[in-house]
Chain A
Amino acid sequence: METKINIEARECGAENDPPTIPKRRQELLKWNGWGYSDSKFIVNKDKHVEFTGERYQLSGHTMPQLRDWMMNTIGINLDHRTPAQPSFTAADTPTPIKNESFIMDMRRTGISLSDDCQDRLFRAHGHTLHEIFVLREGRFDRIPDLVIWPTCHNDVVKIVELACRHNVVIIPFGGGTSVSSALECPANETRMIVSLDTSQMNKILWVDDKNMTAHCEAGIIGQDLERWLAKKGFCTGHEPDSMEFSSLGGWVATRASGMKKNIYGNIEDLIVHIKFVTPLGVMEKNCQVPRISSGPDIHHFMMGSEGILGVVTEVTMKIRPLPECKKYGSIVFPDFESGVKCLREIAKQRCAPASIRLMDNEQFQFGHALKPESGTIFSSFVDGLKKFYITKIKGFDPHTLAVATLLFEGKKQEVAAMEKRVYEIASKFGGLAAGAENGERGYMLTFVIAYLRDLGFDYYIVAESFETSVPWDRCLELCKNVKDRLHRECKERGIQFPPYITCRVTQTYDAGACVYFYFGFNYRGISNPVQVYEDIENCAREEILANGGSISHHHGVGKIRKRYLRQTVGDVGLGTLRAIKEYLDPHNIFGANNCMVGDPEDDRKVHNVPKKAFPQSKL
């Protein structure tokens, strides 16, 4: 044994609150769906949809319009259910491949580990439709063989060293909220696969209010980070929709984007320093400076590396004082097009609030259906009045109007000024301020949508979201064309019910926007819904690329989008990526095989697309 590896147990890091998410995640979280076990949509005894639990604003409420909405838009029938399989037992999980000498060395380090089948299963997947469907209906061919919980950077260094020595595969695991199948174990992997769960590395190591930075371990999840920083009067402002569960390391590894990036920036703007453990050793910069010109930025090898080059252990990121004032708002537009034009103008004038999102009509109606039962007669009367004003007096067509939801943050007078400016611009595009409540409900929709999908699964619905970024001049047509393509592909594949297709513009930039789609359909009468769904989503992605859109804005490539990577970065780009991999990890220890790196099959699959001849005339 080489002496330079110190495999003794050692005290790690600073004291902090215990992690919010326990090692046995399944005790708190659903094992086959999204989020907390206690929170879910159910159809109650009155045949109305109700959200259980006490965690959320919606918890304990029924949504009287939701059932009818689901029945009307997507053809749900409460009599036709597809409940999930009851549980996953040891018998359903593949037997682990054991590298005994690695396990022996690991035990000597004293780092916590487990080969419990449920622990392993929980780390075998993210939250793509495919993965959740397997949990509900099937079984995985390959799951991690061992779960290891390092508690500090040095633990990770040790684990990686041992894995290299014993030729064991490492797949880093943060919050498990990936939607790109990045966590999926390569089915043909014959070596032992270790899931390196960073959830116990969740400490804020220091906060520096001179430079306004915080140094945190990479396993910290979004809600803890914000909650603990808030105690000291700070925030990072990074709020991806998954922030309740996703981790800092995961954000870095997928190049995440937060809802409030207009003020705080995306992950690449927030990062000051990253500590990154690779098979060759630790990669990091020697200083924590706001900007540096040191050749190609090595941070950009780490950001978006999707677990194939190494694992993020510690991050220094910018922090901001907590905003004094936080205010929701909304604008109604006569149609989606004028909404897009307005967002473009707001982006041009660089006066976007913390968040601005434009929902299309379908999504607006969806949001509307999520309204809880109204408490008083008065409030429903007010609702009626509002509706009357917008549709009758202002002449908006309820079947074309679109709604922008807004979130303002900052000092009170700043917020007031910003509100004034935004609403002024909006009015030039026919927009009408429509109150805070609509705005807040819009944001709630994005938090509950994942819970709602689980309800859909019970009633023959398969659904998923996907996103892209696109230049402004092609934004509107991209939305139209992708929707058209989805409708058409559904029709051609014999889907019996009208699919639910909706989009929103979720982020604005100087040069373009981020567009987010929800797509789902009722698969009654179709034998292979997931396959059909994936085929259609692939068509949609092709359409997106044809429309000048990108492979992904913030979900990442993973495995489900890797077929588009060569087209996106070109042969040279991909070669560069592979050369970096080859240098850092020649034995493919970080063998998750994302991003078309690592798996020699990738090339074959992509290249063997048969080039069909032109269609023949029927003469």
Chain B
Amino acid sequence: MALPPTTPPTPPAAGPVVTISGLHKSFGDREVLRGIDLEVGSGEVVCVIGPSGSGKSTLLRCVNLLEQPTAGTVTVLGTEVTDPDVDIDQVRSRVGMVFQQFNLFAHQSVLQNCTLAQRKVLGRSRAQAEAVAMKNLEHVGLADRAQSMPSQLSGGQQQRVAIARALSMDPELMLFDEPTSALDPELVGEVLAVMRDLAQEGMTMLVVTHEMAFAREVGDRVVFMDDGSVVETGPADQVIGAPAEERTQAFLRRVLDPTHLQVGGPNGT
């Protein structure tokens, strides 16, 4: 099937895809991000790990401005999104996002979920949008469920549809916000497999995750965050395999071997 080109050929982003510098975010008096600096290069897979409440998700949501940063700058695909005059919808249409709770449109079929934004935002025809959607549904192994409603799918299937929906916009960057945290354990694998494929195809990805094995295997770089700051960053093998910082070591001990946790002990809480 010969598909018409679906996106105007954008020149490969010169320099980093995401540049975050001096990013602060407060909710009222509570400072959630305390000066984050981070770069994501083209084709790079960066995994963000850290204890809950460390600000990982907020950091991710600041990239496509689902949260408005309090201070600092965020530049995505060459556009400074923190500039008040920026057309954020235009930037968002080039950045895919996958949520912890899937957030499929509950009143629309799987196919409609994947075509809606293509047609309304990118202005594609129905036929064109459906062709792209089917290609991506096939990619995540759910082409046969195109006519199903989201509620008829398992959590893992819903999340794979959510990935297909994001991919249907031909994004240049994918954001994953704990994509497997709401899944039953036996469904985690199918979602991680899709993400691994995506990484191998060269997609630029920023992934907030609790899956250490995935971060180590798929991530080019791992960022460990605690209490609103980046504590340690480096190659995945190094940060997870041989962390330099004491806080990273303590976190990994808790995560990798939760059964030997001593509550109140030196490794505890």
Does A pair with B?
no
